[in-house]
Amino acid sequence: MFTEFLEMIERDFGYEIVDQILNDNQLESGGAYTSVGTYNHAEMIQLLSSLSKVTSQDVSTLLEYFGNYMFVTFRKGFPAFFDDCEHGFEFLESIDNHIHVEVKKLYPDAMLPRFESEKNGNEMHLRYFSDRRMSDFALGLIKATMHHYGHGFSVEKAESNTDGTEVLFLIKIAA
């Protein structure tokens, strides 16, 4: 995720911004990331905060934007996950029991969020659980998923607890 985050910043904001936010922070890793490494989540928060200051965009907006960016990355890297599903809800329901299982095989140290879903016709309640509190990243992925499968939809984010470790997404497909 760290390498993709920096690539997104370089693509959309320029290398100078990448260099600036790396230099503005005392990072445990020194800002040297690899695609297979596992890094302290606090570094992502530091980088997001710095990017927020530089771009004058709030962290929530940047996280959602990054989620959308990562959807494209995931789609290119793992097309079978998407091709095996015919509907956005089907894909979202597969995250924990299929996708995250496969991700753990590739990245055993990955600390992945957990999702629980409940579907009722054209509505889905998708509950997000993570100590990392990156529900806006998940929101970007959810929106990109629904667009990918061609659904007209709305998503409402309802925090389920005060610390952001549990969030309920209410997803409705337009009738």
Q: Quote the pLDDT of residue 53.
A: 97
User: In this structure, are 115 and 161 located in the same domain?
Assistant: yes
Q: Are strands 123-129 and 166-173 parallel, antiparallel or unpaired?
A: antiparallel
User: In this structure, are 103 and 145 located in the same domain?
Assistant: yes
Q: Report whether 148 contacts 86 (CB < 8 A).
A: no
User: In this structure, are 10 and 76 located in the same domain?
Assistant: no
pLDDT tens for 81-133 read: 899 899 999 999 999 888 888 877 877 877 889 999 999 999 999 999 999 99
**163 pLDDT more than 80:** yes
pLDDT tens for 43-54 read: 999 999 999 999
Q: What angle do CA 33, 76, 67 make, to 5 degrees?
A: 60
CATH code (residue 96)? 3.90.1520.10
Residue 100 gets the label, from left (phi > 0), alpha (psi -120 to 50) or beta, of: alpha
Q: Quote the pLDDT of residue 124.
A: 97
CA 93, chain centre distance (Å): 16
pTM of structure: 0.92
Distance between CA 17 and CA 111 in Å, rounded? 27
- For the chain, state the CA radius of gyration: 16
Q: How confident is the model at residue 159 (pLDDT cuts 50, 70, 90)?
A: confident
Q: How confident is the model at residue 56 (pLDDT cuts 50, 70, 90)?
A: very high
**36 pLDDT more than 80:** no
User: In this structure, are 53 and 69 located in the same domain?
Assistant: no
Q: Mean per-residue pLDDT for 135-157?
A: 96
Domain count for the chain, please give it. 2
The residue segments making up the domain with residue 30 are: 2-57
User: In this structure, are 21 and 53 located in the same domain?
Assistant: yes
User: In this structure, are 101 and 38 located in the same domain?
Assistant: no
Q: Mean per-residue pLDDT for 29-53?
A: 90
Q: How confident is the model at residue 11 (pLDDT cuts 50, 70, 90)?
A: very high
Distance between CA 132 and CA 111 in Å, rounded? 9
